[in-house]
Structure 1
Amino acid sequence: MSTTARADIHIDASRDRLWAALTDPDTIARYLFGSRVTTEWTKGSPIVYRGEWEGEPYEDKGTILEIVPGERLVTSYYSPLSGKPDIPDSYQNVSYLLADDGDGTRVTITQDGCADEAEAERSSGNWRMVLDSLKSVVEHG
């Protein structure tokens, strides 16, 4: 049975401003552990994340499954660091959802396909760190 990781946060910024932060490679590197993202930001295009984790270079990858500017970005995601083989069953879906929330925006990230509750909780914790960084970058520059 697969379990879903989830994290969300309120950010004092418009959905347009947050969308720009979610799709600008220089901004992404500031809140996503220094990852450099390469993609064409169109449905079906590959998306690649390159960086360094604990001193080791990595290259994670996936495909953009759905893209609705200002509202929703859904990608498949695979990391060789997972130790799983690069086969379709090893890919997870990661969704970034933006919704109006008072004077700002609620950003929700979900990641499906976690092996168990422990993995879901670890992933949720990582996404909470990403969202805290995103909030700081967007609200304070």
Structure 2
Amino acid sequence: MDNNLISESTIPITATPATIWEVLTNPDIAKEYLHGAKIDTDWKVKSAITLSGEFNGNKYVEKGILLEVRPFVAIRYTHWSPFDGLPDLPENYRIWSYSLEAKGNKTLLKISEDNIPTEKQKNRSDEFWRGVLFKIKQLCEHRKMQGFRDT
């Protein structure tokens, strides 16, 4: 296995970093782009983060540890999922990263995932993240249309 594979996707969003941050970190909103998964964390470095839900009638819990939290700028955490079929060992954790960069009236949201073991899994991650980014863009731009107050 080549665990050096990385999935990266970027999308411009017509919203401020504050709006995108709210969508990324609010559990009630996050479940909309995480396919119904509930995110649970206090958003503090070294804290646990879990994503839990149900898929095809089976409950699951994905987990990790927050490595970086810079409001309106970046989130990075380790991530292990039972769906990968690998044991819950440090070498089987991936790193999920979200970064925000204001560019005029838009913000670039970049998501990356590293430590992907196979090309097939990388392709699956590429597809997953493209869908996630599209949904985040919709949520952010819809919130702006609904008069969500950027701070």
Counterpart code for 1:40: D
Moved over 6 A (4+): none
- 1:106 paired residue number: 108
RMSD over aligned Cα atoms: 1.0
Q: 1:44 aligns with which of 43, 46, 68?
A: 46
Distance 2:30 2:136 in 1: 8
- Secondary structure at the aligned position of 1:27 is classed as helix
TM-score in terms of structure 1 length: 0.96
Q: CA deviation at 1:100?
A: 1.2
Q: CA deviation at 1:86?
A: 0.4
- 1:119 paired residue number: 121
How many residues are paired up? 141
Counterpart code for 2:52: R
1:55-94, aligned counterparts within 5 Å?
55-94=57-96
TM-score in terms of structure 2 length: 0.90
- 1:22 paired residue number: 24
Residue-by-residue CA offset, 1:57-109 (whole Å, 9 max, x unaligned): 11100010011111000000000111100010110000001011231101000
- Secondary structure at the aligned position of 1:96 is classed as strand
- 2:14 paired residue number: 12
Q: Which runs of 5+ in 2 are unaligned?
A: 144-151
- Secondary structure at the aligned position of 1:42 is classed as coil
Q: CA deviation at 1:119?
A: 1.5
Moved more, 49-58 or 13-22: 49-58
Residue-by-residue CA offset, 1:4-34 (whole Å, 9 max, x unaligned): 0111111110001111111100010111101
Moved more, 70-79 or 94-103: 94-103
Distance 1:23 1:78 in 2: 19
Moved more, 129-138 or 111-120: 111-120
Higher CA-based Rg? 2
- 2:35 paired residue number: 33
